[in-house]
Structure 1
Amino acid sequence: MSSPALLHPRNLHQGKYDFSALVKAVPALNAFVITNPNGELSLNFADNAAVIALNQALLAHYYQVKFWQLPAGYLCPPVPGRADYVHYLADLLAGPGQDIPTGKQITLVDIGTGANLIYPIIASSCYGWQVIGSDIDIVAVKAARAIVASNPGLSKRVSIVHQQRNAMFDGVIRRDHFVHLTMCNPPFYASEAQAKAASERKWSNLGKAEQGQQRNFAGQRHELWCEGGELAFISQMISESQMFKQQVGWFSSLVSQQKHLAVLEKLLRSAGVAQQRVINMRQGQKVSRILAWSYFPASLPQR
């Protein structure tokens, strides 16, 4: 099984998974490795335990994360696609043809980091950035803090904040703090029914359409859907970003549905942003977009 095609050039997960190296990093992965009909090593990606073991191995092998565990039923997203978002944000921060700023002087905020903490792991490992991860779910916060505390490389660069339910940035970004980048993977769906329908399509694509099966990537309700879906969520984010316009270099969010871009870009113009970008990402058959905006007209202030 290959990792998704057309990844960002700096993404470490190009080409086929090296199962011999991954099993060496996490021997427990070997129990889930199978041989597919083409005679290649692969996994049963419909098995949630196999996906978790793969992530543990990827994070250990590529990012030196030796402890990574999730509470039962929490989102276990694929690592290669998450890495792409981080690398495209690094390009955005650098600007065309410029070196990417690295080190602890750069701060990234991950809104809704989840129990998996994958964005902060990749950003701190690849670029040495300071990362603040926030989440409204106290179970996710405790799990993320346990991952940070158990990995010395993370404990120096990553901190976790319990976010208020009615505020995305307030309480996460201090009033005296400048943040270079924010990122967010919002709940995509507008209802539980939409989330379940999407789950059934995944199972069908994986050849596991039986009723009652567990979603292969799991996920809590607030991780998957919210009232109004991603359009309402990102609209609120744009509105709240105006209160932090002098404290954040670039705000950003994933946008799964292209039809939402026109509405969101209109909101950004109404909010008075100085710059906005749509960055396309493709992983295999999946196309997603990063919507980024800044209230600074040109280069970011030096902080």
Structure 2
Amino acid sequence: MEQSKRHRKFGLHSRNRHKGHYNFELLKQLVPELSEYVYNNRGIDTIDFSNPEAVKLLNQGLLKQYYKLEYWKIPDNYLVPPIPGRGDYIHFVADLLRDTASKGNDKIPRGRNIRVLDIGVGANCIYPIIGCMEYDWYFVGSETDDIAFINANEIVESNKKISRYIEIRKQKSNNIFYNIIKSDEFYDLSICNPPFHSSETEAQKSNLRKIKGIKAKSSDPKNFGGISNELWCEGGEKEFVNSIILESKEFESNCLWFTTLVSKESNLNTFYKQLKSIQVDTYGVYEMNHANKKARILYWSFLKQKQREKWISIKLALNAK
């Protein structure tokens, strides 16, 4: 087994479209309703990032500006994602695929031949949107919540640009890969933004701290809104990610790279021990530092290096046709 690798990145990824200040003049043209939430703070236009409605409208504008989406709405009280940070996850796993190839390759595998499974796609469907628009990847998104499932499908079906690239599948609440990955299906990546908290009370307290922090620091948007299964589960992040790791063993030949976000650094040693116990071939962590927030991407594979290189070489050859 390869030893854990740790990479650190400060600021947004070099390919992230959301570096620098937002162009609020353009965004207000794209989404006129945003205008009432924009104000000038010391010469710079901004919004109150603790206001979920303002962040929703900002997201609509960003998705129109950069990804040419015609429609994007989410129900009240569902997770409002910070698009720049979500983009960084997608760009990192693109680098992971590129670096899987043999030495000398600098090409990121693109196209519908690259299949990605998003565990818990959510009502916002944000990872598949970014992934298919940036790299033309094909996504399967799993979802346990009925309303989120319906809304994600509505977003996909309402946008011709992404409807050929995204499929939403309903999942049972006690499964992760079972019932989603079919025996004859193979994925290049699995991604996940797991519920972090272990109870509703803990989630509410955390949200209040975020709101106070943003009002004090005028920071970038965090995750506001969010129903129970988006924000918390029994055992919190530790239990959920451990379940991902254990269940991934049953699909070790069906997926090249398994990945998940990890919010709490203190959980990493537990995950490392779990990965070793199921005998993965390699694993590592990529750490992202955005303003006052840190996030980590844990990744692992059961395939040997030569197997991984062959897998990607086939995909690159298909892209070249």
Bin for the TM-score computed over the shorter chain: over 0.9
After superposition, the C-alpha distances for 1:38-74 in whole angstroms (9 at most, x for unaligned) are 1211001122110100000011110111100111110
After superposition, the C-alpha distances for 1:155-198 in whole angstroms (9 at most, x for unaligned) are 01001001111110112111101100000000001111211110
Is this contact kept in 1: 2:81–2:223, CA < 8 A? no
SS of the residue corresponding to residue 172 of structure 1 reads coil
Q: Which residue of 2 aligns with 1:21?
A: 26
Q: Which of 198, 201, 210 lines up with 1:202 in the alignment?
A: 210
Q: In 2, distance between residues paired with 1:105 and 1:111?
A: 19
SS of the residue corresponding to residue 52 of structure 1 reads helix
Q: Which residue of 1 aligns with 2:6?
A: none
SS of the residue corresponding to residue 142 of structure 2 reads strand
1:48 maps to 2:55: no
After superposition, the C-alpha distances for 1:217-267 in whole angstroms (9 at most, x for unaligned) are 100011000111101000001110011000000000000011110110110
Where do 1:93-172 residues align within 5 Å?
93-95=97-99, 98-172=106-180
Greater relative contact order, per chain length (Cα 8 Å cut-off, separation 6+): 2
Q: Which residue of 2 aligns with 1:211?
A: none
Q: Which amino acid aligns with 2:21?
A: K
SS of the residue corresponding to residue 156 of structure 2 reads helix
Q: Which of 34, 38, 41 lines up with 2:39 in the alignment?
A: 34
Q: In 1, distance between residues paired with 2:299 and 2:90?
A: 13
Q: Which of 287, 292, 302 lines up with 2:294 in the alignment?
A: 287
Higher helix content, 1 or 2: 2
Unpaired runs of at least 5, structure 1: 209-214
List 4+ stretches of structure 1 deviating above 4 A: none
Q: In 2, distance between residues paired with 1:269 and 1:58?
A: 41
Q: Which residue of 2 aligns with 1:90?
A: 94
Q: In 1, distance between residues paired with 2:223 and 2:174?
A: 30
1:248 maps to 2:270: no
Q: Which residue of 1 aligns with 2:274?
A: 267
Q: In 2, distance between residues paired with 1:129 and 1:54?
A: 25
Paired residues in the alignment total: 292
Is this contact kept in 2: 1:47–1:216, CA < 8 A? no
User: CA 1:216 to 1:130, structure 2 compared with 1: closer, same or farther past 3 Å?
Assistant: closer
Structure 1 position 24, deviation (Å): 2.3
Is this contact kept in 2: 1:46–1:216, CA < 8 A? no
Structure 1 position 280, deviation (Å): 0.7
Structure 1 position 114, deviation (Å): 0.3
Q: Which amino acid aligns with 2:108?
A: I
Q: Which amino acid aligns with 1:79?
A: I
User: CA 1:216 to 1:85, structure 2 compared with 1: closer, same or farther past 3 Å?
Assistant: closer
CA RMSD, 1 decimal: 1.5
Q: Which residue of 2 aligns with 1:179?
A: 187
Normalised by the length of structure 2, the TM-score is 0.88
Is this contact kept in 2: 1:45–1:216, CA < 8 A? no
Q: Which of 9, 12, 16 lines up with 1:11 in the alignment?
A: 16
